Amino acid sequence: MAKSNSNLCAVVLSISILIVAVSAGSFYDDMDITFGGERAKILNGGQDLSLSLDQYSGSGFQSKHEYLFGRFDMQLKLVPGNSAGTVTTFYLSSQGAGHDEIDFEFLGNSTGNPYTIHTNVYSQGKGNKEQQFHLWFDPTAAFHTYTIVWNSLRIIFLIDNIPVRVFNNNDAAGVPFPKSQPMRVYASLWNADDWATQGGRVKTDWTNAPFTALYRKFNANAKKVGPNSVSTSSINDNQSWSTQGLDAAGRNRIRWVQTKHMIYNYCNDRKRFPNGISAECKTSRFL
């Protein structure tokens, strides 16, 4: 009996270790390197991933699976020092001319000046939904969590679980919304000094290359689609993301972010859109 109990304990321990390993995720299991060769490196047994950029190439990766709705979390530590001209990304996208896309882009700057957090939503190949922010912390000093919640009702962008933007489904008002095309997760580090920093006025200083950004703790509580697809939600997850909105505290936080830290909102750009702002700009944003 003692031997049986011992064997049972060993099995339970093995199962527990397996569950922890699965729930922790691994870049080896979840991602494929898409370009950049050795500039993209999976480290620490699959727990971390670094992307580098030099004067010859950037680098990037994509998820092995496609998803239709979910919550996607990634921790990033951005390029330190003089990052002018560089763009680091974490986003969702489908493929094809009429693609859907949900973007976090991090636009580098010269030393001492803040990163610009650029967000955008594309549906059926059309974007022009940009909002930009400066952060309330140094994104190069430590890892921070960037989150995209995507459900049939809305898209929520969060930073360290603080909502910074909501894009509601206004399909009924004629505003296209990403709702039917499965998307993969993508990330990249590349040179965009023709536009990224102060409209392209500040160029990449290649004497600082290679530029490196770090990724870790990717998690997708999401509906995986494709052959043999099953939800990737963790065992204890109740898929609250499927109806997630903002409570009173969330509404207060997003108002603070957008009042204190937003630097561009397409809804206010009358010069760019002289024929009038889009319909979603006229509705309540923080339902």
Catalytic residue at 101? yes
What residues contact residue 6 under an 8 Å CB cut-off, 6+ apart? none
**Rounded Cα–Cα distance for residues 133 and 254 (Å):** 12
Work out whether strand 262-265 and strand 59-63 pair parallel, antiparallel, or are unpaired: unpaired
| Residue 66 annotated among the catalytic residues of the structure | no
User: Sheet holding 162-168: strands in order across?
Assistant: 40-43, 48-53, 211-225, 66-77, 144-150, 154-159, 162-168
**Which amino acid is located at 284 in the chain?**
S
Q: How far apart are CA 171 and CA 137, in angstroms?
A: 35
CA distance 115 to 118: 9
Of 38, 66, 101, 280, the active-site residue reads 101
Q: Which of 38, 66, 105, 130 is catalytic?
A: 105
Return the active site residues.
101, 105
